[in-house]
């Protein structure tokens, strides 16, 4: 696995997303066995960065992730766990309560990274960060970040955060360059902020093209692996694909070891 080094941290360039673990926006207990199998497979494969949120299956995703980690006997300190506060909980007391609830469901003493999941209309970032800063001072959260923030909101977050914003987590793939066009990627790269790409293969719906297929063939890899390798070939960019299929879980993980040439990266950038 390749790592991105930032502020005395080494973060895997490919982590494991948990959207749809335990259900969609509400819990689906019928999915527990499949979800737990996926989490166990990811842990056995070697993933150490897991990304979850209180919004995922209304907290059930966090419960299952915590259970899988406890069952694995992997030391907590060797893992990097991210969770997120939902946009309806951005007032001071609600942020504190949300974090406590996430820690309770995960059965952990701290989060490595805590994000504002989405901006909400009328939110008061100063109040939200008052609570986030308190959580960081108390050690319940080690690093702060945001998700789905445009450039204006990202800069406002930096102004209100007592600690450096670690990441902005946004959709990014060969076919989705919206956060390149709005200036966020360039700003993150120039200001030492991780750019975390979610939906890196368009939730499995990624369309192939001749460039992808020829490069995949040259590397004896899948087109999805090449798409992931393209994302993490860029400075300060990491990604968190998700799959419940053990074969794809391993393929995603191994995509970090693919070394694309400069010409291949350029070819993919133009073809996407």
Domains of the chain by residue range: 10-204+236-242
User: Which residues form the catalytic set?
Assistant: 56
Measured CA to CA in angstroms, residue 239 lies from 66, 208, 255 at distances of: 21, 19, 11
Q: Taking the CB of residue 122, how many other CB atoms lie within 10 A of it? A: 6
pTM of the model: 0.96
Would residue 192 be called left, alpha or beta, if left means φ above 0 and alpha means ψ between -120 and 50 degrees? Answer: left
Q: What would the pLDDT profile of 203-252 be if each residue is shown by its tens digit? A: 777 788 888 999 999 999 999 999 999 999 999 999 999 999 999 999 99
Mean model confidence pLDDT for the chain: 96
**Do strands 16-17 and 194-198 pair parallel, antiparallel, or not at all (unpaired)?**
unpaired
Q: What would the pLDDT profile of 4-14 be if each residue is shown by its tens digit? A: 999 899 999 99
Looking at the domain that runs over 10-204+236-242, which CATH code has it been given?
3.20.20.100
Q: What would the pLDDT profile of 33-66 be if each residue is shown by its tens digit? A: 999 999 999 999 999 999 999 999 999 999 999 9
**Do strands 80-85 and 3-6 pair parallel, antiparallel, or not at all (unpaired)?**
unpaired
In the block, tokens 């300190």 appear at: 77
């Amino acid at each position: 696995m390749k790592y991105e080094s930032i502020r005395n941290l080494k973060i895997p360039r490919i982590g494991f997303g948990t959207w749809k673990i335990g259900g969609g926006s509400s819990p689906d207990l019928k999915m527990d066995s499949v979800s737990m199998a996926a989490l166990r497979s990811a842990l056995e494969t070697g993933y150490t960065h897991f990304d979850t949120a209180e919004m995922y299956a209304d907290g059930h995703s966090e419960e299952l992730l915590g259970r899988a980690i406890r069952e694995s006997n992997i030391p907590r300190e060797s893992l990097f766990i991210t969770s997120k506060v939902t946009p309806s909980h951005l007032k001071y007391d609600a942020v504190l309560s949300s974090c406590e609830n996430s820690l309770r469901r995960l059965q952990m003493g701290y989060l490595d990274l805590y994000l504002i999941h989405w901006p909400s209309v009328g939110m008061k970032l100063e109040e939200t960060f008052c609570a986030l800063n308190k959580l960081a001072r108390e050690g319940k959260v080690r690093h702060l970040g945001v998700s789905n923030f445009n450039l204006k909101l990202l800069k406002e977050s930096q102004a209100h955060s007592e600690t450096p914003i670690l990441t902005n987590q946004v959709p990014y793939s060969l076919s989705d360059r919206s956060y390149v066009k709005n200036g966020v990627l360039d700003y993150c790269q120039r200001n030492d902020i991780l750019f975390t790409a979610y939906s890196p293969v368009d939730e499995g719906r990624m369309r192939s093209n001749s460039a992808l297929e020829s490069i995949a063939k040259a590397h004896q890899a899948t087109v999805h692996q090449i798409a992931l390798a393209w994302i993490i070939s860029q400075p300060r960019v990491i990604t968190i694909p998700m799959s419940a299929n053990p074969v794809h879980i391993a393929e995603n993980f191994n995509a970090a070891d693919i070394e694309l040439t400069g010409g291949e990266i350029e070819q993919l950038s133009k073809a996407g």
